[in-house]
Amino acid sequence: MLKNLSLLGLLLPGLALGLAPSPANAQTEAESPDAHPTFFIRGFGTLGLARSSSDQAEFVRDLSQPRGIKGGDWSARIDSVLGAQANWQATPEVELVGQIVSRYRYDESRTPEVMWAFAKWEPDTRVALRAGRIGADFMMLADSRLVGYSYLAARPSTDFFGPLFFSHFDGADASLTLPLGKGLVRGKVFAGKTQEKASDVSGIWDTSGSPVRGLILDYSTGSWQFRASAARIRFSNDFPLAPLPDLLRSFGASGAAGELSTAGKASRFYSLGVVYDQGPAQVQGMLNEIHHESGLFQNSRGGYLLAGYRVGALTPYAGVSWWKSTSKNLATGLPDVPFASLNQTFDSVATASAADQTTYTLGARWDVYPNVALKLQWDAVRGSSRSVFPVRAEQAGWNGRTNVISAVVDFVF
């Protein structure tokens, strides 16, 4: 499987992918003047079908998706993706990169969107500066979430990556890579503003113009890759909850209304990750912690462990993941008489971001042709009835449990 990823190394230069060449090897390739053509266009995609056993809630890939799958019907909605990327090595030090992707979006369309559009300047092998539209790698492997071929499993862990609905931001980053011991250490800082929207039953939330900044520290040695990261986003606009905030203020519950505000409030993302890739064995383990200043979102922790072992062209794998949030115990402060209905509405909004589930995964990847992989996967989601944030359109009787069967074809060309 790993030997078929040379094309992916061209398609996605500089990314710390779990299945890509190690940074040390990537540096050796980059130092060769004939390693890459001056200009090339490549593509990638996923044709995926999935079904969920529960008809009480819709399973989604992440919170960027307004609808999901449910009720035992097969659907290509959540996993199918098609993308193209162009790279131009304008000078030995300057590279221009553009990427366009068609996926299931916040408005239920598949309108192609620009994911990457940046210029990269590398004065030497230690320093890299990028400016433009850049992938949001708040967490390890996050900026390649849509390139299914680069992932061992059918999709990135929904419990770990699900809360991260940002795919890119407009801004700049700077990285410095230095030798340390037997490996390489890389530090990166980034800053910019988001240009994305999210959808909920309440409406469309426009996060455009929200400032984002962060810090990443990587260490690679032999078959090991380690990462620690921290990122912050301060939202520019309120979540669409009208008329609830105005009603609360009109009855004197201004504090409760303020808790639901997101404008000017920050969310912080912290994560740790490790990838081991040696011969037939591959193991990934990651943890995250997310803190929200707004009372609208509960703070949460998540993580996953995924392991696979390649036998010829077949790689069976197994994993476990989790996503759990902590209630902020918010209340309007108004008496139930005569405000019972208003209190119930506030409580339902304040608990709509609750997550409490564990997912067990079994699957197999078959690299049937060079640059083409078939995957079959079973996910057993075992949560509580309060776990409504990871799904869409939950109904009365939702118990937090479902089984998801997925069949996907991933490819790069």
Contact 136, 292 (CB under 8 A): no
Handedness of CA 341, 326, 215, 164 (dihedral sign): negative
With H, G, I as helix, E, B as strand and everything else as coil, classify residue 139: coil
Contact 405, 50 (CB under 8 A): yes
Contact 116, 145 (CB under 8 A): no
- Residue 11: the pLDDT is 40
Q: Domain ranges in the chain?
A: 2-48+71-281+289-300+326-351
| Structure tokens given for 374 | 């078939």
One-letter identity of residue 184: L
Cα of first residue to Cα of last residue in the chain, in angstroms, is: 16
- Residue 37: the pLDDT is 65
With H, G, I as helix, E, B as strand and everything else as coil, classify residue 147: coil
- Residue 165: the pLDDT is 86
Residue ranges in the chain modelled with pLDDT below 70: 1-37
Q: Report pLDDT digits (tens) over 364-388.
A: 999 999 999 999 999 999 999 999 9
| Structure tokens given for 283 | 């193991």
Contact 173, 188 (CB under 8 A): yes
- Cα(149)–Cα(369) distance, rounded to whole angstroms? 12
With H, G, I as helix, E, B as strand and everything else as coil, classify residue 313: coil
> CB atoms < 10 A from the CB of 319, how many?
23
Contact 326, 290 (CB under 8 A): no
Which of 323, 322, 318, 320 lies closest to 376 in space, CA to CA?
318
- Cα(413)–Cα(406) distance, rounded to whole angstroms? 23
- Residue 142: the pLDDT is 84
Which of 138, 146, 152 lies closest to 100 in space, CA to CA?
146
- Residue 344: the pLDDT is 96
Q: What are phi and psi of 269, to 5 degrees?
A: -120, 125
